């Protein structure tokens, strides 16, 4: 099968390119290298199954030219501004890189008759629901970040485009995803800051922010498993892992793995790390579990594994 | 108070300008005249409380210039492509005129510190829920039209912007709205086609499409009543009227009011008028009714009144 992976040089996208090629698919990787990197796909460069386009998927013309030339059978859309903290002061980034990319991907699919899509959504579409365990039927989705808003808007687009054009779509709402090729986030920050100063660590918020962290290769395995979903319309899953990990626990594991003792934690205070951050959430995963899939690594295990890889 | 009405020369927007001015507010009307008309606001032209800008709200520069100059205290955002049937073959219209206008309105409010917004949303955000009576907590919103998708995406943007910038927002999900200055829709179509040919009438679908039709001045009264909502964050209401009217009934009333007998109805067939049209819906309005408001005209009454005005 020939697949376009939009955002294919990114953290998650590049692992997906690896898996698709391993399974014998031809991969057309599209990335504007805003967060993705050439290093992430350097090892694929000489593979005859791999093609790389340096192009911005928010541009109708750029994306159309690729669809026109490549005639893909399916699309994996993972392009987005994934750095939520960065866009808090510049919502235009989400408008362009997260929402508009989705619109252009769907509009190209409509124009070129491509019927199969995987879309990377997020827990951020729910907003801050406190202690509610979030399932796919939770109502009143109220994103508190521009990122969450652009992803929820993207899901709405997918709903209309799939209905109007008989598309077959798999949507995963990702939790925090970590592992090799990570570019930002709390683990990345803590390691870098402790390398600079092993005596003390500033922790945003009160350290009790608690979320599930999923290992990226677990996530890619799930995408590969469900990509051939044959139900018409949209199939949507919350995807995650066992348990959750607090920011304070991440700090402890980073210190432990770096062999640091008596590091002084300085809390910036408040319940969330920054405005727009959801401090706590928990997924109900009955839907995906009952279909026979489970993540291999728990949240704590994924955190430790990622720290070791990034030291 | 000084208010910007985006889409203020449109069908609903122009009636809102009238009401705001009648109550002593200064109105800055912004319209690109894609569906709005100069005739709709011609009677306001010499009113010292009224200013008119021919500008496209999907352009950040155009809209910023108006905010910069006018320093509004609040915004009524009614700009959108309201002709759902027309955008079915051109989703870019909804991306630009419905979604992007919302993004730019919110981003201007953020930049210029405007904290008060009214937003015109729609029943189309729910999608086709069959016989479910739709209330504000209905889950799994699944728009089937590009219009509904762009409006649901707009609601998602409002959620994030209001949280990030402490905005106070009133959202009404409109049903079908009819009355003076109507520019398109089933009543408009039937009258025009029967004037052309009083012998027969083509009816899209099977004629059983059944929805609530609300009289535009009832809607404007509701906006005026709730515009000073003081609850922080977003206050969202389904707004509608008593009962629903089928397309077949509309045809009957049009014929009756035009004095036509024995008109032959020709049905195009199928359950909906066109792809993307929700054939039936019904609102639960307990929330807005329990706060003390009710529409004056029922759906059937609004239909008859509108037909008489448009003959």
For residue B99, the chain A residues in CB contact (below 8 A) are 99, 153
Does any CB of chain B come closer than 8 Å to the CB of residue A132? no
For residue A124, give the DSSP letter. G
Q: Which fold has domain B181-212+242-285+297-310?
A: UDP-galactose 4-epimerase; domain 1 (3.90.25)
Of the candidates B85, B229, B225, which has an alpha carbon nearest to the alpha carbon of residue B147? B85
Q: Which fold has domain A184-212+242-280+297-310?
A: UDP-galactose 4-epimerase; domain 1 (3.90.25)
Of the candidates B88, B90, B100, B223, which has an alpha carbon nearest to the alpha carbon of residue B153? B100
* Cα B151 from Cα A62, distance rounded (Å): 27
* Cα B121 from Cα B139, distance rounded (Å): 16
CB contact residues (below 8 A), chain B span 76-105, against chain A = 88, 91-92, 95, 99-100, 103
For residue A106, the chain B residues in CB contact (below 8 A) are 91
Among candidates A152, A163, A234 on the partner chain, residue whose Cβ is nearest the Cβ of B156: A152
Write down the pLDDT at residue A83. 84
The gap from C-alpha B213 to its chain's centroid, in whole angstroms, comes to: 11
Among candidates B139, B145, B157 on the partner chain, residue whose Cβ is nearest the Cβ of A139: B139
Binary contact (B160, A145; C-beta < 8 A) = yes
Does any CB of chain B come closer than 8 Å to the CB of residue A284? no
For residue B235, the chain A residues in CB contact (below 8 A) are none
β-pair partners for B215: B178
Interface-testing mutation among B81, B88, B96, B103, with chain A (most A C-beta atoms within 10 A)? B103
Does any CB of chain A come closer than 8 Å to the CB of residue B49? no
CB contact residues (below 8 A), chain A span 112-131, against chain B = 125, 127
Write down the pLDDT at residue A82. 84
Q: Could you give the residue ranges of the DSSP H alpha helices within B71-178?
A: 84-87, 92-94, 101-112, 146-165
Of the candidates A156, A168, A52, A49, which has an alpha carbon nearest to the alpha carbon of residue A113? A168
Per DSSP bridges, beta strands B74-77 and B116-122 are parallel
Degrees, nearest 5: CA angle A135-B100-A176: 30
Among candidates A140, A143, A156 on the partner chain, residue whose Cβ is nearest the Cβ of B149: A156
Binary contact (B159, A139; C-beta < 8 A) = no
* Cα A256 from Cα A311, distance rounded (Å): 12
Statement: residue A230 has pLDDT above 80? no
Q: Which fold has domain B2-177+213-238?
A: Rossmann fold (3.40.50)
Write down the pLDDT at residue A127. 97
Write down the pLDDT at residue B86. 86
β-pair partners for A5: A29, A76
The average confidence (pLDDT) of chain A is 96
Asked whether A297 and A241 are in contact (CB, 8 A), the reply is yes
| Domains in chain B: boundaries | 2-177+213-238, 181-212+242-285+297-310
Count Cβ atoms below 10 Å from residue B219 Cβ, excluding itself.
25
Write down the pLDDT at residue B230. 74
Report, as ranges of residue numbers, the positions in chain B whose pLDDT lies below 70.
Answer: none
Q: Determine the distance in angstroms separating the CA of B249 from the nearest CA of chain A, rounded to an integer.
A: 28
Among candidates A91, A140, A148 on the partner chain, residue whose Cβ is nearest the Cβ of B137: A140
- Based on the number of CB atoms within 10 Å of its own CB, is A115 exposed (0-12), middle (13-18) or buried (19 or more)? middle
Predicted confidence band of residue A268 (pLDDT cuts 50, 70, 90): very high
CA-to-CA dists, residue A226 to A28, A117, A239, angstroms: 20, 11, 11
Interface-testing mutation among A93, A124, A135, A149, with chain B (most B C-beta atoms within 10 A)? A149
Asked whether A230 and A283 are in contact (CB, 8 A), the reply is no
For residue B276, the chain A residues in CB contact (below 8 A) are 160, 163-164
* Cα A33 from Cα A61, distance rounded (Å): 18
* Cα B221 from Cα B229, distance rounded (Å): 14
Structure tokens at B241: 């009227």
CA-to-CA dists, residue B251 to B45, B245, B259, angstroms: 37, 10, 12
User: For the residues A89-111, what does the mean pLDDT come to?
Assistant: 97
CB contact residues (below 8 A), chain A span 133-162, against chain B = 136-146, 148-150, 152-154, 156-157, 159-161
Statement: residue A229 has pLDDT above 80? no
Q: What is the pLDDT of residues A50-98, one digit of tens each?
A: 999 999 999 999 999 999 999 999 999 999 998 888 899 999 999 999 9
Of the candidates A157, A21, A176, which has an alpha carbon nearest to the alpha carbon of residue A85? A176
Statement: residue A270 has pLDDT above 80? yes
Among candidates B107, B136, B153 on the partner chain, residue whose Cβ is nearest the Cβ of A157: B153
């Amino acid at each position: 099968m020939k697949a376009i992976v939009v955002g294919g040089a990114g953290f998650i996208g590049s692992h997906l390119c690896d898996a698709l090629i391993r399974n014998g698919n031809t991969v057309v990787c599209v990335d504007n290298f805003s967060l993705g990197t050439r290093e992430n796909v350097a090892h694929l460069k000489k593979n005859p199954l791999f093609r790389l386009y340096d192009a911005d998927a928010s541009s109708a013309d750029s994306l159309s030219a690729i669809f026109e030339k490549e005639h893909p059978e399916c699309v994996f859309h993972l392009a987005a501004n994934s750095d939520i903290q960065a866009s808090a002061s510049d919502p235009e980034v989400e408008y362009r890189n997260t929402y508009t990319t989705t619109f252009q991907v769907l509009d190209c699919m409509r124009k070129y008759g491509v019927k199969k899509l995987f879309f990377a959504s997020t827990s951020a579409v729910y907003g801050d629901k406190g202690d509610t365990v979030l399932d796919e039927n939770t109502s009143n989705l109220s994103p508190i970040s521009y990122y969450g808003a652009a992803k929820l808007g993207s899901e709405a687009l997918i709903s209309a485009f799939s209905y109007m054009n008989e598309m077959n779509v798999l949507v995963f709402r990702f939790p925090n995803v970590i592992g090799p090729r990570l570019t930002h986030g709390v683990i990345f920050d803590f390691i870098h800051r402790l390398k600079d100063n092993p005596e003390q660590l500033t922790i945003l918020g009160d350290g009790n922010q608690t979320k599930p962290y999923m290992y990226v290769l677990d996530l890619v395995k799930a995408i590969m498993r469900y990509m051939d979903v044959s139900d018409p319309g949209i199939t949507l899953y919350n995807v995650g892992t066992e348990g959750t990990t607090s920011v304070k626990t991440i700090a402890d594991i980073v210190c432990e793995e770096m062999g640091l003792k008596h590091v002084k934690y300085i809390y910036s205070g408040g319940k969330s790390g920054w405005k727009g951050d959801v401090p706590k959430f928990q997924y109900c995963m009955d839907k995906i579990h009952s279909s026979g899939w489970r993540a291999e690594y728990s949240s704590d295990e994924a955190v430790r594994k990622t720290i070791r890889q990034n030291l």
